[in-house]
């Protein structure tokens, strides 16, 4: 019994040891499936994929439901006979494995790309080093401060000497204010540069920036206008704060008509925002006093649409008109643009500039620069070592008439019609006193036209009725020639008829050159303008139309009688054109003889009686050292100190 009891007792001890031994075996990697307690624990989370990960004293496994897990755990502990106070406590803690952050990643990327776009887009182009940048800098001005960054000088600007003197004086105001203040004069607040496109307004401002030796701030008028409300006035305030900070300086607003249009035309769309920007500009400009030393320059080719409050003295004290250059101005501009070109050694630059100036009446500075560049391109196209006079003549034809189309195929009938059409123009102009001298006529298509005639108009600003009538007759010469020789008309005279109609309406409506309509003048509508109502009655409009038609008929009948009389000459010129395709003045002299009227063709003849061959570029005494500070004031101060010491 004892041994049995001892065996039984020993069996219990051994069983208990075996019961507690499964945990040690499990830690060593041996899964004790033969132990009952382990088999019961292994089924704690039923219907789940069980896996064990041994990390120190912890066992990791997945559970499907908390309620089921707690219920199974309670059942197992009851089966094992574990007392309530000794049962395992369950503590829950929330831990993340990073899946939540991964789910946020697309949202973070979208927000980041949006912020980057706002920072780099048009609304966020703030200047470096100012403000927070990005969307928060939308109210900052986009103006650029230029210091020694412009290589354009006043020697590169020609053909507008009077405007150059005005601009030089502004620079002199900033450099030597005492010269004017001693006499009680106030420094002008600013000047507005007006004139047709291509006459050199922005170039003059660039030259000012290159020579002023003071900070030059430049901004475009359209940069004040944005889609955000209040941005325009904010940028104006920031611009003038920048100008005051850099004083003395010059502030240049290009294309000011974008922001300076007349107010009161209705508040549709962005109109009210534009008006608010203009109001802020008016306040800032008028808020300057004479001690700030900030000069404001502006440029526009539409001064007629600017607000009167912007143009008044106190804001823009001076209005500087820069028109197309005269023949002397064109010669000076050609000298500037011929300077960097490699010319033929037989050409003299001064003589070439004068000759080209006489061949390019009405050209602006931009047109002249284009002619010189085209000449260089034509020379390079033909692999020439240098640019000769022929290249410049071809460049002038290219700019006036367009690209020559030698490959355009014309039917023989069409070519014949074009030849007689151009011959009609040439002969009519040859025998009309006030018509422009013919320089060249061609039936090689150029641009949109099938024929091309180049004339040499003189520098003239006033025209009489007789002169305008001769010009109309010459323009109608092509249509009349078609009628005489073919008994039919074509669409080739459309451009001629348009010019004749415009001239007739201008004579009657604008210049008061009609007896029935009288000495009155109305503005003709600009191309593209919307005409809602005419400034005259229906009866006057009917009378104007009748007189225009009558004037054109008079010109047509006069041209018809002239070309009928000169029919043989027209045929000579047309046949020679069909043979050679291009006729110059020497060919016309051979065919028609000398022109029966005196004409001017050389530079010297054009400038005769105007005082000098070249334009006057001398400076007044007070502007000799316009961009330098006077040393005289320092010397006077030194002399006074010496006298006091004595």
Give the DSSP per-residue string, 429-447: HHT-TTSPPEEEEE-S-BT
Parallel, antiparallel or unpaired: strands 249-254 and 294-300 = parallel
Bridge partners for 441 per DSSP: 453, 583
Residues of the chain with CATH 1.20.58.760: 412-518+539-606
One of 1.20.58.760, 3.30.1490.100, 3.30.830.10, 3.40.50.2000 is the CATH number of 412-518+539-606, namely 1.20.58.760
Rounded Cα distance, 251 and 255, in Å = 13
Taking the model in full, what pTM does it have? 0.70
**Parts of the chain belonging to CATH 1.10.8.60:** 327-401
What are the angstrom distances between the C-alpha of 483 and each of 170, 281, 437?
A: 61, 61, 24
CATH 3.40.50.300 fits 137-321, yes or no: yes
Low pLDDT (below 50) residues in the chain: 1-20, 43-57, 122-135, 270, 290, 633-634, 636-646
What CATH number is given for 327-401 in this structure? 1.10.8.60
* Three-class secondary structure assignment of 358-421: HHCCCCCHHHHHHHHHHHHHHHHHCCCCCECHHHHHHHHHHHHHCCECCCCCCCHHHHHHHHHH
Is the N-terminal amide bond of 248 cis, ω within 30° of 0? Answer: yes
Partners of 300 in the beta sheet? 194
CATH 3.40.50.300 residue ranges in the chain?
Answer: 137-321
Pull the structure tokens for residue 528.
């593209």
The catalytic residues are 422
């Amino acid at each position: 019994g004892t041994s049995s009891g001892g065996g039984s007792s020993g069996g219990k001890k051994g069983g208990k040891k075996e019961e507690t031994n499964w945990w040690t075996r499990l830690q060593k990697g041996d899964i004790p499936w033969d132990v009952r307690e382990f088999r019961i624990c292994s089924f704690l989370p039923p219907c789940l994929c069980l896996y064990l990960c041994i990390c120190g004293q912890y066992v990791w496994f997945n559970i499907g439901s908390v309620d089921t897990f707690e219920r199974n755990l309670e059942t197992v502990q009851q089966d094992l006979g574990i007392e309530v106070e000794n049962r395992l406590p369950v503590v829950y803690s929330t831990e993340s494995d990073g899946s939540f952050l991964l789910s946020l990643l697309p949202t973070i990327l979208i927000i980041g790309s949006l912020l980057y776009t706002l920072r780099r887009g048009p609304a966020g182009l703030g200047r470096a080093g100012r403000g927070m940048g990005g969307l928060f800098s939308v109210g900052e001005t986009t103006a650029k401060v230029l210091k020694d960054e412009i290589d354009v000088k006043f020697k590169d600007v020609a053909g507008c000497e009077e405007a150059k003197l005005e601009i030089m004086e502004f620079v002199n105001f900033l450099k030597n204010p005492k010269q004017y203040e001693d006499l009680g004069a106030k420094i002008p607040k600013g000047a507005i540069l007006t004139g047709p496109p291509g006459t050199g307004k922005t170039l003059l401002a660039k030259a000012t920036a290159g020579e002023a030796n003071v900070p030059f701030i430049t901004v475009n008028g359209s940069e004040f206008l944005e889609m955000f409300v209040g941005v325009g006035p904010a940028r104006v305030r920031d611009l003038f704060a920048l100008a005051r900070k850099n004083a003395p300086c010059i502030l240049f607003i290009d294309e000011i008509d974008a922001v300076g249009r007349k107010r009161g035309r209705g508040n549709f769309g962005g109109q009210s925002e534009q008006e608010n920007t203009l109001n802020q500009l008016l306040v800032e400009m008028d808020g300057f006093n004479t001690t700030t030393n900030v000069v404001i320059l502006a440029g526009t080719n539409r001064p007629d649409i600017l607000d009167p409050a912007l143009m008044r003295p106190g804001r823009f004290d001076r209005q500087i008109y820069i028109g197309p250059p005269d023949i002397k101005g064109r010669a000076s501009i050609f000298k500037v643009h011929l300077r960097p070109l490699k010319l033929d050694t037989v050409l003299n630059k001064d003589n070439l500039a004068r000759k080209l100036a006489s061949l390019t009446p009405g050209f602006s500075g931009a047109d002249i620069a284009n002619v010189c560049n085209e000449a260089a391109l034509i020379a390079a196209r033909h692999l020439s070592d240098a640019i000769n006079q022929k290249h410049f003549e071809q460049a002038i034809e290219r700019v006036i008439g367009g690209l020559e189309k030698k490959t355009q195929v014309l039917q023989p009938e069409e070519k014949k019609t074009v030849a007689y059409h151009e011959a009609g123009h040439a002969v009519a102009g040859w025998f009309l006193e006030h018509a422009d001298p013919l320089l060249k006529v061609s039936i090689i298509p150029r641009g949109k036209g099938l024929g091309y005639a180049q004339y040499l108009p003189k520098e003239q600003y006033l025209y009489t009725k007789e002169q305008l009538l001769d010009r109309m007759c010459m323009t109608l010469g092509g249509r009349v020639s078609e009628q005489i020789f073919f008994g039919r008309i074509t669409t080739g005279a459309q451009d001629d008829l348009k010019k004749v109609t415009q001239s007739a309406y201008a004579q009657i409506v604008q210049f008061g050159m009609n007896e029935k309509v009288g000495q009155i003048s109305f503005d003709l509508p600009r191309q593209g303008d919307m005409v809602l109502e005419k400034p005259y009655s229906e009866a006057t409009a009917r009378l104007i139309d009748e007189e225009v038609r009558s004037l054109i008929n008079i010109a047509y009948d006069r041209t018809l009688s002239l070309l009928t009389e000169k029919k043989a000459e027209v045929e000579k010129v047309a046949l020679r054109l069909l043979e050679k395709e291009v006729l110059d003045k020497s060919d016309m002299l051979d065919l028609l003889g000398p022109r029966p009227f005196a004409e001017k063709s050389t530079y010297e003849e054009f400038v005769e009686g105007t005082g000098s061959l070249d334009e006057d570029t001398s400076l007044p005494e007070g502007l000799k050292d316009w961009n330098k500070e006077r040393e005289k004031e320092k010397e006077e101060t030194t002399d006074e100190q010496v006298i006091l010491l004595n």
